[in-house]
């Protein structure tokens, strides 16, 4: 479901104009892409900051209502003030909802506490925490869950092991990427180490013969 966002046009660009927009409790923003001219807009600061409480906004479709019609777009970048941490600029990219988009989504680990390998003393290595996906924006998941319940020591979760929603594919160079591993040695391997050789007994010295 699309997120509806109301916007007004900005007639003047530049730093001075952007400061003026922010003084009026608005946020300067831009919509670009799809081989069209960029459009400078402003958003209601309070409304947009409320939206930031929602998870995974970068995987969502935004329907931006402007005085000249609606724009289908995705959130690409948010700039924050270095001191106040307030949003000072937002970038949106136009999309065609009927064409695939490329998005990175977070990975979430499930059943860490009950993981077979970790209970045996293995060490978790969560190497790559985001996966690049491609598909229609309406099918795009907010996250991908990796179930560790049956993952054993020495086993690896590659891109091809991830469970993806229907219609969603892995992005480039993701298939053989190692996202999660459990390192260490199985207990029986540790127990079967060759025992250290016992120190040799001192050689017996023959007693001198009696005369």
What whole-number distance in Å separates Cα of residue 50 and Cα of residue 70?
21
**94: burial class by Cβ within 10 Å (0-12, 13-18, 19+)?**
middle
In this structure, the answer to whether residues 115 and 171 fall within a common structural domain is: yes
Does residue 200 lie in a domain region? no
CATH number at residue 128: 2.170.120.20
In this structure, the answer to whether residues 86 and 106 fall within a common structural domain is: no
Secondary structure element (H or E) that encloses residue 51, with its range = helix 45-51
Does residue 208 lie in a domain region? no
Domain boundary residue, one of 94, 111, 141: 94
CATH number at residue 80: 2.40.240.10
Domain boundary residue, one of 94, 118, 136: 94
In this structure, the answer to whether residues 131 and 79 fall within a common structural domain is: no
Question: Closest Cα partner for 160 from 173, 182, 175?
Answer: 175
Count how many domains the chain has: 2
In this structure, the answer to whether residues 112 and 45 fall within a common structural domain is: no
Which residues share a beta bridge with 132?
Answer: 104
Domain that holds residue 172: 101-190
How many angstroms separate the first and last alpha carbons of the chain?
110
pLDDT digit string (tens) for the chain, length 211 residues: 789 999 999 876 666 667 778 888 899 999 999 999 999 999 999 999 999 999 899 999 999 999 999 999 999 999 999 999 999 999 999 999 999 999 999 999 999 999 999 999 999 999 999 999 999 999 999 999 999 999 999 999 999 999 999 999 999 999 999 999 999 988 776 555 555 555 555 545 444 555 4
In this structure, the answer to whether residues 84 and 112 fall within a common structural domain is: no
In this structure, the answer to whether residues 85 and 117 fall within a common structural domain is: no
Q: What is the largest CA-CA distance in the chain?
A: 126
């Amino acid at each position: 479901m699309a997120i509806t966002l109301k916007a007004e046009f900005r007639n003047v660009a530049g730093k001075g104009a952007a400061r003026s927009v922010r003084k009026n409790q608005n946020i300067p923003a831009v919509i670009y892409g799809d081989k069209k001219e960029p459009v400078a807009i402003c958003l209601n600061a309070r409304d947009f900051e409320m939206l930031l409480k929602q998870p995974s906004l970068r995987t969502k479709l935004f329907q931006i209502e402007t005085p000249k019609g609606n724009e289908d777009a995705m959130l690409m970048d948010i700039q924050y003030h270095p001191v106040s941490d307030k949003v000072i600029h937002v970038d949106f990219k136009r999309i065609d909802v009927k064409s695939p988009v490329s998005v990175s989504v977070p990975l979430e680990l499930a059943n860490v506490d009950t993981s077979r390998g970790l209970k045996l003393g293995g060490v978790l290595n969560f190497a790559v925490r985001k996966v690049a996906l491609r598909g229609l924006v309406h099918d795009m998941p907010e996250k991908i869950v990796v179930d560790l319940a049956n993952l054993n020591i020495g086993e690896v979760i590659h891109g091809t092991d991830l469970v993806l929603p229907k219609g969603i594919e892995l992005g480039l160079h993701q298939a053989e990427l190692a996202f999660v591993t459990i390192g260490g040695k199985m207990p029986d391997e540790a127990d079967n180490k060759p025992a250290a050789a016992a120190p040799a007994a001192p050689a017996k010295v023959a007693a001198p013969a009696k005369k």
